[in-house]
């Protein structure tokens, strides 16, 4: 284990800028619940019907395990960088660097998925409206608009991002609860017992789809430069249960309808043009929130890695209290990647490919975090037996999900994942060789 003491790093940093409530809304925005419920939700309902709410409760419990891991790790590390920092100091420098390298791809994939998903829902709605200007039906333009909004908010400052997240996330919570009540009303207030004895054979598959819905702590774990580690730890757990229970209520209401169709079309049939405008606004807001959260997280991970000379030190430089160069670079990469991919394969294709990659990268970084907690607590197992147990259980669950779902990923996604790992290895080796050469000279 790395012998440096991360708790001593950045003691002189400026006073934390983000409160616990700021982090909560940023993390909730990182879940992009509306996009997640429209996509993962309809799949879950189609698999298990009225057991969707039960499947979501199980998924919430599973995700909460990793949330508790982040809670315990963040209490030990006062430095920003999240998963990179945890592995760098708890495991080894090389494993930490590999974790940081994979997190950069994970945040790009997950954030890019949310950006593309928001733009795709917006495109689908605009295409149904008779008065939509033809220019707005260019998918790459919608991708640029959503990515540009998210990037602009990040560069405007973390406080501006948090304020936007607070206002828009609150509006989204109200909208989702209102929709759930609307579904129950349409069902004739049909209340039912989702905990049946005869479980669907597709229940576990539905749970796997549900794992991506309440995960929001991945976007705030790296924000140790901007918030207290105590607040990050609290929110990492709270946002899982809040988002998971909200999604459970949403699925319960859909189950009351025995709904298995296209949710957007169903809403448009009841609300018409007014519903389309509202759904379009929510989709734009959701994609922006999700992308913004992961651009922020990626820029802080890049800053931490640059402080350790993995990347050029200029990316770690603060300008007016924030890593402006890192933010600009990450925002540029997000926008360019999403727009370019959309131009080649369309928004739906981008959503599918990046969503699959995010799933693979997600399993890697959370397994790394779980092992980090196990390594830290194993030396004093008697004193930290509860944390050690959580770490071991979370590791086993992550590995089980990895084994179950890995066969479902397409070969191209697996090749991209492995290619990214190999690329990182070569980058680090070449950098180390150049560093050794300059020292010898």
pLDDT (0 to 100) of residue 439: 54
Count of residues in the chain: 441
* pLDDT value of position 142: 92
**Can you give the pLDDT at residue 105?**
93
Q: Number of folded domains in the chain?
A: 1
Q: Is 420 a residue whose pLDDT tops 80? A: yes
346 assigned to some structural domain: yes
Flag whether 5 is in a domain.
Answer: no
Tell whether the model's pLDDT for residue 215 goes beyond 70: yes
Q: Is residue 154, in this structure, part of any structural domain at all? A: yes
Give the CA distances from residue 316 to residues 307, 311, 430, in Å, rounded to whole numbers and listed in that order: 6, 9, 21
How many degrees, rounded to 5, is the angle at CA 78 between CA 31 and CA 63?
Answer: 30
26-40, 100-114, 348-362, range with greatest mean pLDDT: 100-114
Residue 33 lies in a domain: yes
List strand residue ranges (DSSP E) for 54-104, in order: none
- Ranked by mean pLDDT, the top range of 102-111, 190-199, 346-355 is 102-111
For 382-419, the DSSP string reads: TTTHHHHHHHHHHHHHHHHHHHHHHTTS-HHHHHHHHH
Dmax (CA) for the chain in angstroms is: 80
**Composition of the chain by helix, strand, coil, percent to 5:** 80, 0, 20
The one-character DSSP state at 189 is: S
Q: Does 12 fall in a domain?
A: no
* Residue 255 included in any domain: yes
Dump pLDDT digits (tens) for 66-107: 888 888 888 887 777 888 888 888 888 888 888 899 999 999
Cβ proximity of 363 and 398 under 8 Å: yes
- Do the beta carbons of residue 212 and residue 44 sit within 8 Å? no
Residue-wise pLDDT tens digits, 263-306: 767 777 777 777 777 878 888 888 888 888 899 999 999 999 99
Residue located via tokens 């590995």: 399
For every residue of 227-243, DSSP letters joined together read B-HHHHHHHHHHHHHHH
Residue numbers of the domain that contains 230: 20-184+200-427
- Alpha helices, DSSP H only, in 257-384? 263-307, 324-378
Distances (CA, A) of 121 to 15, 283, 286, 404: 39, 6, 10, 29
Residue 225 domain-assigned (yes or no): yes
The pLDDT of residue 7: 44
Percent of the chain with pLDDT over 90: 15
Buried b (16+ CB within 10 A) or exposed e, 416-437: bbeebeeebeeeeeeeeeeeee
- State the pTM of this model: 0.86
State the chain's mean pLDDT as an integer.
82
List C-alpha distances in Å: 95 to 2, 205, 323, 372, 375.
10, 31, 24, 10, 13
Q: What is the pLDDT of residues 123-172, one digit of tens each?
A: 888 887 778 888 888 999 999 999 999 999 898 888 888 888 888 888 88
- pLDDT greater than 50 at residue 14: no
Model confidence band, residue 197 (pLDDT cutoffs 50, 70, 90): low
Query: Does the pLDDT value for residue 196 go beyond 80?
Result: no
Angle at 170 between CA 300 and CA 181, to 5 degrees: 135
- Distance, in Å, from the CA atom of 293 to the CA atom of 330, rounded to the nearest integer, reads 12
Cβ pair 292, 165 in contact under 8 A? yes
Q: What local confidence, expressed as pLDDT, does residue 216 receive? A: 75
Residue 10 has pLDDT above 50, yes or no: no
Q: Residue 40 has what DSSP assignment?
A: I
- The enclosing domain of 175 has a CATH number of 1.20.1740.10
In a domain, residue 281? The reply is yes
At 11 the pLDDT is 42
């Amino acid at each position: 284990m790395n012998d440096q003491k991360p708790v001593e790093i950045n003691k002189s940093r400026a006073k934390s800028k983000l409160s616990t409530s700021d982090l909560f809304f940023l993390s909730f925005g990182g879940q992009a619940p509306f996009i997640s419920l429209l996509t993962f939700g309809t799949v879950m309902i189609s698999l298990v019907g009225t057991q969707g709410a039960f499947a979501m409760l199980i998924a919430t419990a599973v995700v909460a395990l990793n949330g508790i891991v982040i809670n315990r790790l963040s209490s030990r590390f006062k430095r920003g960088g999240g998963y990179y920092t945890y592995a760098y100091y708890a495991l080894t420098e090389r494993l930490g660097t590999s974790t940081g390298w994979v997190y950069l791809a994970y945040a790009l994939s997950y954030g890019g998925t949310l950006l593309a998903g928001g733009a795709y829902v917006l495109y689908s709605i605009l295409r149904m409206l008779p008065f939509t200007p033809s220019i707005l039906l260019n998918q790459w333009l919608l991708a640029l608009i959503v990515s540009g909004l998210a990037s602009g908010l990040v560069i405007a400052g973390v406080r501006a991002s948090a304020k936007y997240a607070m206002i828009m996330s609150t509006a989204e919570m109200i909208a989702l609860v209102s929709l759930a009540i609307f579904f129950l009303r349409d069902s004739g207030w049909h209340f039912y017992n989702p905990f049946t004895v005869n479980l669907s054979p597709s229940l576990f598959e539905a749970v796997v789809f549900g794992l991506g819905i309440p995960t929001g702590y991945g976007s705030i774990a790296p924000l140790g430069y901007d918030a207290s580690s105590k607040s990050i730890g609290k929110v990492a757990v709270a946002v899982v249960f809040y988002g998971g229970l909200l999604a459970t209520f949403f699925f319960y209401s859909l189950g009351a309808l025995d709904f298995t169709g296209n949710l957007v079309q169903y809403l448009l049939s009841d609300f018409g043009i007014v519903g389309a405008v509202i759904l379009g606004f929510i989709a734009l807001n959701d994609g922006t929130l999700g992308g913004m959260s992961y651009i922020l997280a990626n820029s802080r991970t890049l800053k931490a890695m640059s402080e350790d000379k993995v990347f050029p030190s200029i990316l770690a430089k603060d300008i007016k209290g924030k890593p402006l160069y890192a933010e600009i670079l990450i925002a540029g990469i997000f926008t360019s990647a999403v727009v370019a991919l959309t131009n080649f394969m369309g928004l739906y294709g981008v959503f599918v490919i990046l969503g699959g990659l995010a799933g693979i990268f997600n399993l890697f970084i959370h397994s790394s975090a779980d092992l980090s907690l196990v390594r830290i607590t194993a030396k004093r197992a008697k004193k930290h037996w509860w944390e050690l147990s959580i770490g071991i259980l979370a590791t086993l669950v992550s590995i089980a999900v990895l084994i179950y779902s890995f066969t479902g990923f397409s070969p191209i996604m697996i090749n991209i994942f492995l290619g990214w790992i190999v690329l990182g290895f070569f980058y680090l080796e070449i950098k180390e060789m150049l560093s050794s050469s300059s020292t010898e000279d």
